[in-house]
Structure 1
Amino acid sequence: MPDLNNPLIVQSDKTMFLEVDNDRFEDCRAVISRFAELEKSPEYMQTYRISALSLWNAASSRMTADDIVGALEDFSKYPVPKNVLHEIREQISRYGKVKLVREEDGELYITSEEKAFLNEIAHHRSVQEYIKDVQVGRILVNKDYRGHIKQALIRIGYPVEDLAGYDEGAAYGFNLRGTTLSGKNFVMRDYQRKAVEVFHAGGSRQGGSGVIVLPCGAGKTIVGIGVMQLVGAHTLILVTNTLSIRQWKSEILDKTDISEDDIGEYSGEKKELKPITIATYNIITHRKKKGGAFTHYNIFGEGNWGLVVYDEVHLLPAPVFRMTSELQAKRRLGLTATLVREDGLEEDVFSLIGPKKYDVPWKELEKRSWIANAKCIEIRVEMDEELRLKYSVSDDREKYRLASENPAKLDAIEKIMGVHGSNNILIIGQYLQQLDVISQHFNLPMITGNTPLMERERLYKAFREGREPCLIVSRVANFSIDLPDARVAIQVSGTFGSRQEEAQRLGRVLRPKGEDNMAFFYTVVTRDTTEERFAHNRQLFLAEQGYEYNLHTYDEYCSMHPETPNPGPRKPIVVDESEKAEKAKKTEKASKKSSQRKEKEEESLAGR
């Protein structure tokens, strides 16, 4: 019942205000984040919005209209507006009302018990090109456009439930190990097993497509392997980069009895098709020329796949969506830490990969020590007068770069390293010139996109084993990098307001730490600049998961740690401009040569 002591205010435009300084804040946030999207997260009042897609995802994960209405009425200060209650019941009821089924004649039909729904669908211009015939109680559609019709339907407000079934693919069975190759006992955690079972749904048509949302470090790869075992068929796994291929392969060999000979790599370096094939998004979307055909599109047709796994599905390139629209007869599993996409294509994930099937709040896993207790800290540094003057006359993009590369951040980095003993620390950034300066200043190794794979693996191994206590990494470390011993991450610059990047970077320190199980995630930003505004936006997703950012100026942070000496006067690194230009020229030349070599190699392999 409404109570002025409650933390939530629900408005008629479907926005909600949640008081942070309220005894029921945590309980309320945990519930409403399942059916609403966080839009703003200032210190004292968070803003959420209920959308049709957020409600459909809630419905797909078995949340009912009564569950949602009950939660709003339980936590609201005032009576919930009637139009909001109506919208919730209307949108929740729409999920599953329209179904896509395959009849005994092999044809594909849209069906619904709501004749008005069918009538509206049949007469909608965006759907008509996929319709073959309108019959009594059903609509015959072109089965070659199974994915296209689902995309069209969701855009006009009808999230179709796809019950048309799947091709089983070539059979391939295997077992999970009870003991890993390293001699450790292995058993799936309860939430991992539940995620697998919810997705598979006993092999029925109600399962087999959808997205599992788990934090970085919570074992999404294990969930993928568990689904592979239940499906028991040839599997295509799509990942972000070559290093991810190696990590998936390592996990599969460590946790299953699958032979190494049955695992293929399909990348710029190798073109293997095996019962279990792991490919990169880059190779799948490769074209010899802009606008030309996709060179390796044949991978989808040459393998008799029973399952396609999309790792880091929030990064799925747009061309892969187009390919996936033609793969609707295959079981499809998406794995991600966040459904947020910076390109706004969440509806395409919903319709083509599938709706959200299962998720676990990050804080719940933290309480159970499955992931580390993470403390998020934002340190704001000043900008000196000369740089501030340059900043004031620059355009927006240049302003962000100047604020991001602020040399004053070196002092903050040094202080943080002093507080944490310069051990198990990642320094992550966006701008290579900034990272190069930090690397020189602290004499630390740096990994960028130009770092050879073998050198990356050597440095990662040294970091895991403690022989390299601190690494500087560019955006290559945002995704799928296995750094289990990272205890501290220092973010010095990022991709504007990217929420998904913020979530992935926090994930670099979330693996369990033992003992106190504490991890620290620092963001260093320049005060009173556009960087501060973008940093706030980046933190939205993590705020929704229950993380709070402790905000401190650099001076405040120093006063909190008087036992650690503050950095002395900084000696500026003088970069010879001619030397800098020559270095940039050599890097560009080497990069171009490498790209040409890869293109020739891919053309040669494609022609075999």
Structure 2
Amino acid sequence: MTWDPIRPLIVQSDLTVLLETHHPDFEAVRGELSRFADLVKSPEHLHTYRITPLSLWNAAAAGMPIDQMTACLQQYAKFGVPSSVLSSIRKYANRYGMLRMEDVGNELYLVSDDTVVLKEICAYDSLKKYVSDTRGERAIAISHVARGVLKQELIKLGFPVEDLAAYRKGEQLPIQLLDEEEGEGQAPFQLRDYQQHAVDAFHRIDAEGSGVLVLPCGAGKTIVGIAAMARCGCATLILTSNVTSVKQWKREILSKTGLSEDQVGEYSGTSKEVKPITIATYQILTHRGKKEDEFSHMRLFSERDWGLIIYDEVHLLPAPVFRATAEIQATRRLGLTATLIREDGREEDVFSLVGPKKYDMAWKQLESMGWIAKVSCQEVRVPLSGMDRDRYSASGARQQFRIAGENMAKLDVIDHLLIQHANEQTLIIGQYIDQLELIAAHTGAPMISGGMPYERREELYQQFKKGQLPLLIVSKVANFAVDLPDAAVAIQVSGSYGSRQEEAQRLGRILRPKRIGTANTAVFYSLISEDTKEQDFALKRQLFLVEQGYEYGISSWEPVRKKREEVHHEV
């Protein structure tokens, strides 16, 4: 096929897709492509995507037709689409739904219309103990307790299971959402259009039972969870990332529903309430005295007849909770997250045990609608200070990363940015407590870390939200579920290697829409030590931001530093 300069895609036979960033259709093509392909590299001019079985299964589960996937490639490909790519898309996407779990009377069956596939599955040694009880050519009776483990094993072999088996209704609990008339003195509970679409997407799966909703930070995932909970009308266990998030869920539930204080319990290190709505942390569930001890709090999964379990920040789900989740596949499950990326690579387990992606709202789409702030992402590359350079050269790789993160020269950049954004609410975010304490002493601003009592943390958050504190320094304890809507500037001084999920959460601190009457904009700075291990890992963290549509500017601090010195000498 001849070269067509009008088209922005190059589709390669290894399922890699290249997208020109300067093409006028870049935004539209990226939005469609990202529904069934994963971003791999994002240099300035050409982004690289990879079509994978899991990306295709999530797209299929979310309702994207195969013809729509192939049409996207064919419409925009410069050289056409290799036939091998089209056949691979059909092969893998068609596998979702090829195997189904269904109820037949009181028995649970693994069924397929493809008898060859069922025979192939029965031949795998790893599956024989689960699939020995065949019922004709198209069905196998399986144990209810093997429901989760079998799904895990099958997806490893390339066969995702569409779970259509029945789910327990659980303990019934009518939950009324407050509206303008019933919520006197309260803010009216009214779902935004996309939140309603997300809830509808979850509840379209009445037969299927479970799924994951992907919504950007600041989009109101808690609100979506509450609305889904109300639609189910049953006892619900909510699992989330930290105590701050537990408190936030409880506040939102009590203010947005007709539930009373004695119906909503907290289950954490300081409180062990099991009520019709119970909110717990992943940390408490995985706590044990010794490594060889049992996880005693895992019994929470069976403390009540839960009809729904909500996994907030599902990308953080710890391995022991995966194991517990495999055992409760008859309970409806809802995963909420801003990103399906897991640093441990267990995205397939989220798909199998919590559920496939059912809804995904693009960050940039919400920004264009005004529901989240318009964010500019800037990486500032800072040369190592003289002292740090000597230490860096004499250290091992792991220590080099920390030296680069704590680069003393970053203090000058912080001073410059604080002057530049003097009238804006600013967060300084970092990984290392020693570094943050130094910055707190340097700037005179308070610092929040995991060691600070919860009450004091909340006090500082409230002061920041009211504008009484223009600058707040926070450790990774603020990565998740901290609602600071007026934060307009974030300065990331150090991070966790190449963690894209952390980058997403830190960006989320400034995505909340700003007050009416103020500019709905924000800036996210990453201070990166130049020519170091930190710069190498920063390239990986950029991927998530670029995938979501953010322009990622890179600048050098050295010219600014020299100019500042010249001005200082002239004065």
| TM bracket (short chain) | over 0.9
Where 1:94 maps in the other structure, the secondary structure is coil
**Is residue 181–residue 254 contact of structure 1 (8 Å, CA) maintained in 2?**
no
Where 1:53 maps in the other structure, the secondary structure is helix
1:452 CA drift (Å): 0.7
Aligned residue among 507, 519, 531 for 2:522: 519
Change (3 A) 1:77 1:450: same
TM-score using structure 1 length: 0.90
Question: Deviations for 1:120-140, whole angstroms, at most 9, x for unmatched residues?
Answer: 111111211222412212111
Q: Distance in 2 between matches of 1:175 and 1:147?
A: 32
Aligned residue among 539, 542, 546 for 2:542: 539
Could you tell me which residue of structure 2 aligns to residue 34 of structure 1?
35
Q: Distance in 2 between matches of 1:520 and 1:386?
A: 30
Q: Distance in 2 between matches of 1:135 and 1:567?
A: 84
Could you tell me which residue of structure 2 aligns to residue 185 of structure 1?
188
Question: Deviations for 1:138-194, whole angstroms, at most 9, x for unmatched residues?
Answer: 111111111001101111111100011100001001211114676433310011111
Could you tell me which residue of structure 2 aligns to residue 310 of structure 1?
311
Could you tell me which residue of structure 1 aligns to residue 505 of structure 2?
504
Could you tell me which residue of structure 2 aligns to residue 347 of structure 1?
348
Could you tell me which residue of structure 1 aligns to residue 298 of structure 2?
297
Where 1:394 maps in the other structure, the secondary structure is coil
Counterpart amino acid of 2:120?
E
Gaps of 5+ in 2: none
Counterpart amino acid of 2:235?
H
Could you tell me which residue of structure 1 aligns to residue 458 of structure 2?
457
Question: Residues 272-291 of structure 1: matches in 2 within 5 Å?
Answer: 272-291=273-292
Question: Deviations for 1:382-408, whole angstroms, at most 9, x for unmatched residues?
Answer: 123342232123111111111111111
Where 1:297 maps in the other structure, the secondary structure is helix
Question: Deviations for 1:12-71, whole angstroms, at most 9, x for unmatched residues?
Answer: 111111111211211111111111111111111111111000000010111111001000
Could you tell me which residue of structure 2 aligns to residue 95 of structure 1?
96
Could you tell me which residue of structure 2 aligns to residue 585 of structure 1?
none
Question: Residues 118-517 of structure 1: matches in 2 within 5 Å?
Answer: 118-136=118-136, 137-179=138-180, 183-201=186-204, 204-206=206-208, 208-421=209-422, 423-513=424-514, 514=516, 515-517=518-520
**Is residue 122–residue 139 contact of structure 1 (8 Å, CA) maintained in 2?**
no
Where 1:304 maps in the other structure, the secondary structure is coil
Counterpart amino acid of 2:524?
F
**Is residue 376–residue 549 contact of structure 1 (8 Å, CA) maintained in 2?**
yes
Where 1:86 maps in the other structure, the secondary structure is helix
**Is residue 181–residue 255 contact of structure 1 (8 Å, CA) maintained in 2?**
no
Change (3 A) 1:303 1:13: same
Q: Distance in 1 between matches of 2:201 and 2:559?
A: 48
Where 2:87 maps in the other structure, the secondary structure is helix
Counterpart amino acid of 2:409?
A
Change (3 A) 1:440 1:417: same
Q: Distance in 1 between matches of 2:107 and 2:468?
A: 61
Q: Which moved more, 1:398-407 or 1:307-316?
A: 398-407
Change (3 A) 1:63 1:400: same
**Is residue 122–residue 132 contact of structure 2 (8 Å, CA) maintained in 1?**
no
1:279 CA drift (Å): 0.7
**Is residue 415–residue 558 contact of structure 1 (8 Å, CA) maintained in 2?**
no
Question: Deviations for 1:272-296, whole angstroms, at most 9, x for unmatched residues?
Answer: 1101000111111122221221111
2:5 counterpart of 1:19: no
Counterpart amino acid of 2:252?
E
Could you tell me which residue of structure 2 aligns to residue 549 of structure 1?
552
Counterpart amino acid of 1:135?
R
Q: Distance in 2 between matches of 1:261 and 1:222?
A: 20
Could you tell me which residue of structure 2 aligns to residue 112 of structure 1?
112
Could you tell me which residue of structure 2 aligns to residue 601 of structure 1?
none
Could you tell me which residue of structure 2 aligns to residue 604 of structure 1?
none
Q: Distance in 2 between matches of 1:288 and 1:131?
A: 38
Counterpart amino acid of 2:207?
R
**Is residue 545–residue 552 contact of structure 2 (8 Å, CA) maintained in 1?**
no
Change (3 A) 1:32 1:567: farther
Gaps of 5+ in 1: 570-608
Q: Distance in 1 between matches of 2:196 and 2:216?
A: 15
1:436 CA drift (Å): 1.0
Where 1:426 maps in the other structure, the secondary structure is strand
1:219 CA drift (Å): 0.5
Change (3 A) 1:312 1:567: farther
Q: Distance in 1 between matches of 2:390 and 2:56?
A: 48
**Is residue 186–residue 255 contact of structure 2 (8 Å, CA) maintained in 1?**
no
Identity over aligned residues, as a percent? 52
1:555 CA drift (Å): 4.4
Question: Deviations for 1:523-582, whole angstroms, at most 9, x for unmatched residues?
Answer: 0111111111111111111111101111111245679xx9x999979xxxxxxxxxxxxx
Question: Deviations for 1:348-394, whole angstroms, at most 9, x for unmatched residues?
Answer: 00000000000111000000000000111111111233422321231
Question: Deviations for 1:96-130, whole angstroms, at most 9, x for unmatched residues?
Answer: 111001111x1111101001111111111121122
Q: Distance in 1 between matches of 2:560 and 2:329?
A: 53
Where 2:459 maps in the other structure, the secondary structure is helix
Q: Distance in 1 between matches of 2:503 and 2:339?
A: 10
Q: Distance in 1 between matches of 2:548 and 2:481?
A: 20
Change (3 A) 1:57 1:181: farther
1:516 CA drift (Å): 2.2
Where 1:525 maps in the other structure, the secondary structure is strand
Question: Deviations for 1:580-605, whole angstroms, at most 9, x for unmatched residues?
Answer: xxxxxxxxxxxxxxxxxxxxxxxxxx
**Is residue 373–residue 512 contact of structure 2 (8 Å, CA) maintained in 1?**
yes
Q: Distance in 1 between matches of 2:242 and 2:350?
A: 20
Where 2:27 maps in the other structure, the secondary structure is helix
**Is residue 4–residue 78 contact of structure 1 (8 Å, CA) maintained in 2?**
no
Q: Distance in 2 between matches of 1:430 and 1:406?
A: 13
Could you tell me which residue of structure 2 aligns to residue 597 of structure 1?
none
Q: Distance in 2 between matches of 1:520 and 1:350?
A: 33
Counterpart amino acid of 1:523?
S
**Is residue 62–residue 358 contact of structure 2 (8 Å, CA) maintained in 1?**
yes
CA RMSD of aligned residues (A): 1.8
Where 2:298 maps in the other structure, the secondary structure is coil
Counterpart amino acid of 2:328?
L
Q: Distance in 2 between matches of 1:387 and 1:263?
A: 51
